Amino acid sequence: MDFLSSDDELLAPERKKWNEGFSFIAGVDEVGRGPLAGPVVAAAVAFPKNSLCPKVNDSKKLTDAQRRTLREEIISIPGIQYSIIEISPDEIDKINILRASHLAMKKAVSRLSGIDFVLIDGLPVPDFPFPNEAIVKGDAKSASIAAASILAKVHRDDLMTGLALKYPEYGFEKHKGYGTKKHLEALKKFGPCPIHRKSFAPVRDIITPPPEQQEFSFN
């Protein structure tokens, strides 16, 4: 197993907070905002202070095989804390995808113990229940966030591959619910299945009558 050096740039956000006196720092990320089907998934990861950290990277820059190898390396680190949360398509339809993503991240961190600071991928999350810093493209800048992105991505991919066995006509094992040409063709041919997000336009537009849309503030 290869590890990041203690002065690696990917550990810079963690080092900064450790030097400020924080002891238990978690990184949190989500995957699955854009798909037309399936849950949004968030993962939180907290490496022990000064522990060795696998050579993680932004999950989008890794192959499936690399992500799976790194997942096993991440969860094998002594003292590691991690959690994974799913927010269902029904809940996404009720509260909107942005709120669902924020809720998933809050729940993921809340499952960990003793966390005193959180590094969040992307923009700030309103009312986050821990001291935090939001880092745009954080999965390429923070080892903890990168690790969270890997765990969330592998979990969601496996989930969608499993759901493809239940709903084989849509090809979820290939596109994982994203709006590819093949997925849109299947959606028009067969209509939505129970894991489709009915509030998303390509799904909503083929439902008769269309579901009523609730208005939400993004604040």
Tens-place pLDDT, residues 139-155: 999 999 999 999 999 99
**pLDDT tens-place string over residues 27-70:** 999 999 999 999 999 999 999 998 889 999 888 889 999 999 99
The predicted pLDDT at position 110 comes to 98
- Average pLDDT of the chain is 93
Q: How confident is the model at residue 214 (pLDDT cuts 50, 70, 90)?
A: very low
Instruction: Characterize 100-113 residue by residue with b for buried, 16 or more Cβ atoms within 10 angstroms of its Cβ, and e for exposed.
Output: bbbbbbbbbbeebe
214 occurs within a structural domain: no
Mean pLDDT of 111-136: 97
65 occurs within a structural domain: yes
SS (H, E, C) the chain: CCECCCCCHHHHHHHHHHHCCCCCEEEEEEECCCCCECCEEEEEEECCCCCCCECCCCHHHCCHHHHHHHHHHHHCCCCCEEEEEEECHHHHHHHCHHHHHHHHHHHHHHCCCCCCEEEEECCCCCCCCCCEEEECCHHHCCHHHHHHHHHHHHHHHHHHHHHHHHCHHHCHHHHCCCCCHHHHHHHHHHCCCCCECCCCHHHHCCCCCCCCCCCCCCC
The predicted pLDDT at position 60 comes to 86
Which of 62-76, 104-118, 139-153, 200-214 comes out lowest in average pLDDT?
A: 200-214
103 occurs within a structural domain: yes
2 occurs within a structural domain: no
The predicted pLDDT at position 90 comes to 97
3 occurs within a structural domain: no
Angle between helices 143-166 and 12-19 (to 10 degrees): 130
Percent of the chain predicted with pLDDT > 90: 88
CA distance 80 to 113: 11
Which of 49-63, 86-100, 102-116, 146-160 comes out lowest in average pLDDT?
A: 49-63
Residues 6 or more apart in contact with residue 165 via CB below 8 angstroms: none
Reply yes or no on whether the pLDDT at 78 is more than 80. Answer: yes
Residue with tokens 């190898």: 69
217 occurs within a structural domain: no
The closest of 47, 73, 64 to 143, measured between CA atoms, is 47
4 occurs within a structural domain: no
Q: Which two tokens stand for residue 208?
A: 């008769």
Q: How confident is the model at residue 1 (pLDDT cuts 50, 70, 90)?
A: confident
Reply yes or no on whether the pLDDT at 215 is more than 90. Answer: no
CA distance 145 to 150: 9
Mean pLDDT of 69-90: 97
Domain span at residue 95? 9-204
Mean pLDDT of 166-187: 97
The predicted pLDDT at position 218 comes to 38
Q: How confident is the model at residue 132 (pLDDT cuts 50, 70, 90)?
A: very high
219 occurs within a structural domain: no
The number of distinct structural domains making up the chain is 1
- The domain that holds 71 is classified in CATH as 3.30.420.10
